[in-house]
Amino acid sequence: MALDVGIVGPPGSGKTTLFTALTGVHPEGYGTPHVGVAQIADERLPAVAAVIRSAKQTPATIRLIDVPGTAAAQLGGVRRADALLAVVRDPADLPLLELELLVADRDHVERRLERVRKEAKSGDPSLREQVGVLEHLIAHIDEEKRLEEFPGDLPEELEPLTAKPLIPIVNGADGLDLALEAELRDLTPVEAAEYRNGGSSALGDVVRELAVVLDLVTFFTAGDTETRAWSLRNGNTALDAAATIHTDIARGFIRCEVIRWKDLVEAGSHAEAARRGLQRLEGKGYVVADGDVLNVRFNV
């Protein structure tokens, strides 16, 4: 599944520096969204890969979108994001940024209300009901309340910014030195670790917090060619996992061989794990657990 996280913040806050620090991409130009991928570090991945003797290891990722400003039109670029990283220089700046997100939501709801009012003239009762909901949403926003606090159901297609999880990132003495993190991103992992005296990047904590906020679990696929980590929403099924790997695999799903990553590592191979009775067969409805190693059998 594609997981998108938007990076927002006032000009000069360092949001593009955060984007570079997380993705390793140095954007050129200004005025358009920057898109890149951040890896989710997971110590289980190399452990599984070592047992399987995979030629390649591929971590799970999160797609990041850095928008160029806080105008309503610019913030539209992250409406489909699953969460937002809010970058500020001073914690006192966060309320103003949240207000700008709220203003952008009001503009978005108001434009939708205008369109639905015209369509409701046809007499369609569902459209009239939607007009009432949108009017209540605007009244809610005018009280400077986030739409995640709205007591009723939000229209699915609305994609409000203030209903998304928001993780503040303070760039400076009171938080993270994003410029330094961006510079260290250009070093090799060994060189960066030496600079940190063996410590881990603070940005790793940011990515892990995103995984928690988005309620993700990680599953693995493991073979001679590649061992790969994949992100999945907690509560999703083996069929959802198959679709995450490839839509054809989901279409031809037959069954899924499942083993806990730790059982596989301790057994030393899939064959030995199966001999010990640690591997089981599951169907489409199996709810994937964090740390599962999956082998999906399919026929297209």
Give tens-digit pLDDT for 231-264.
Answer: 999 999 999 999 999 999 999 999 999 999 999 9
Angle at 167 between CA 164 and CA 170, to 5 degrees: 145
Higher pLDDT, 208 or 286: 286
- Cα 15 from Cα 5, distance rounded (Å): 13
The structure tokens 């609305």 sit at: 158
Beta carbons of 147 and 154 less than 8 angstroms apart: yes
pLDDT at 5 over 90: yes
pLDDT at 198 over 70: no
pLDDT, tens digit (0-9, with 9 covering 90-100), for 138-163? 999 999 999 999 999 998 889 999 99
- Cα 139 from Cα 143, distance rounded (Å): 7
- Give residue 29's pLDDT band: very low, low, confident or very high (50, 70, 90): confident
pLDDT at 1: 58
Beta carbons of 37 and 61 less than 8 angstroms apart: yes
pLDDT at 207: 86
Sorted by where each begins, the domain ranges of the chain are: 235-298
pLDDT, tens digit (0-9, with 9 covering 90-100), for 168-191? 999 988 889 999 999 998 888 888
In this structure, what token pair is assigned to residue 236? 């999703």
pLDDT at 31: 82
pLDDT at 126 over 70: yes
- DSSP track, 220-271: EEE-SS-EEEEEEETT-BHHHHHHHH-HHHHHTEEEEEEEEHHHHHHHSSHH
Task: Calculate the dihedral angle through the C-alpha atoms of 6, 156, 71, 173, rounding to the nearest 10 degrees.
Answer: -30
* CA-wise closest residue to 56 among 222, 239, 200: 222
In this structure, what token pair is assigned to residue 282? 């599951």
Largest Cα separation within the chain, whole Å, is 69
Distance of CA 269 to the CA centre of its chain: 32
pLDDT at 33: 93
Fold of 235-298: Ubiquitin-like (UB roll) (3.10.20)
pLDDT, tens digit (0-9, with 9 covering 90-100), for 128-137? 999 999 999 9
pLDDT at 203: 85
pLDDT at 189: 80
pTM, two decimal places: 0.90
Mean pLDDT confidence for 76-92? 95
- Cα 194 from Cα 39, distance rounded (Å): 21
For the stretch 236-255, what's the b/e string if a residue is b when 16 or more beta carbons lie within 10 angstroms of its beta carbon?
bbbbbbbbbbeeebbeebee
Beta carbons of 201 and 184 less than 8 angstroms apart: yes
Helix locations, the chain, DSSP H: 15-23, 44-52, 72-75, 94-120, 125-142, 178-185, 189-195, 202-213, 238-245, 247-251, 261-267, 270-275
Neighbours of 37 (CB within 10 A): 12
pLDDT at 78: 96
Length, in residues, of the chain: 300
pLDDT at 30: 79
pLDDT, mean over the chain: 93
Neighbours of 192 (CB within 10 A): 17
pLDDT at 262: 98
pLDDT at 269 over 70: yes
